[in-house]
């Protein structure tokens, strides 16, 4: 007998949705989002999450999208920082 279970870990990632698409394969429809992931998430001393740049594009099945968040851009010292506004965590 072969063990077919995968080691699936839940991971919180953030990104900006570029577009959505529906894929039909063998009479099964699935919806995907094409997102631009953030590169590195940082937590401040006040427990706010922020990042400084976006990374690669990736397809994510919409069933895996948990919630909608906002990005607040703050230009500081020749660099932009994007703070994540998440009503379920920040408030």
DSSP 33-89: EEEEEES--EE-TTS-EEES-EEEEEEEEGGG-----EEEEEEETTEEEEEEE-TTT
pLDDT in tens, 4-46: 556 666 777 889 999 999 999 999 999 999 999 999 999 988 8
Give the Cβ contact number of residue 51 at 10 Å. 19
Instruction: For 54-83, write each residue's pLDDT tens digit.
Output: 999 999 888 878 888 899 999 988 889 999
């Amino acid at each position: 007998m072969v063990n077919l279970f995968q080691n699936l870990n839940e991971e919180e990632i953030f990104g900006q949705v570029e577009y959505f698409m529906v894929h039909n394969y063998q009479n099964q429809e699935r919806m995907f989002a094409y997102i631009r992931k953030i590169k590195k998430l940082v937590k401040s001393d006040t427990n706010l999450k922020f990042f400084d740049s976006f990374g690669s594009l990736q397809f994510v099945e919409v069933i895996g999208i948990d919630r909608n968040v906002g990005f607040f851009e703050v230009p500081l010292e020749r660099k932009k920082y994007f703070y994540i506004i998440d009503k379920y965590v920040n408030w």
